[in-house]
Amino acid sequence: MGNRLMVEEGHLLAVFNSAHRVMKAEGVLKALGLPILLIPAPRKLLTDCGLAIRFSEETRTAVMGALEQAGLLPEFITRLEEGNFVTIWKDRNSSR
């Protein structure tokens, strides 16, 4: 099923808790030419606004750097590993 959906093994997802923040974040990352895609958060993640930014491990440093600089860090980052989402980074202020 993996390749029929928008998230494949190894993909990273930056999950946000606000539509405004995720839209701003998408704009910042696209302006820098980073290969990201705004997608619905997979059903399994049960997020507030239901949106996530998909990116790859290769661009992780650039994505996180840009989001930090813009004050738009996500609520958490998760990676699809063997079919499961594993949280690999979490905002210190997040309640999750």
Partner 1 sequence: MKTIDCRNMACPAPVISAKKALEEADKVRIHLDNGAPRENVSRFARNRGYEVEELQDATGSWILTISNTNSDKKSTETNSPSNGCVVLITSDCFGKGPEEFGSLLMKNFIHSLLETSIKPSRMIFLNSGIFLTTEGSDVLESLDKLCGQGVEILSCGLCLDFFGRKDKLRVGSTTNMLVIAEELIGAERVIRL
What are the residues binding partner 1 (CB under 8 A)?
Answer: 3-6, 19, 23, 37-40, 42-43, 50-51
Nearest-approach distance from CB 92 to partner 1, in angstroms: 28
Nearest-approach distance from CB 5 to partner 1, in angstroms: 5
Whole-angstrom CA distances from 30 to 23, 27, 44, 82 are 11, 5, 26, 29
Beta carbon nearer to partner 1, 7 or 67: 7
Beta carbon nearer to partner 1, 19 or 86: 19
How buried is residue 41: exposed, middle or buried, by Cβ count under 10 Å (0-12/13-18/19+)?
buried
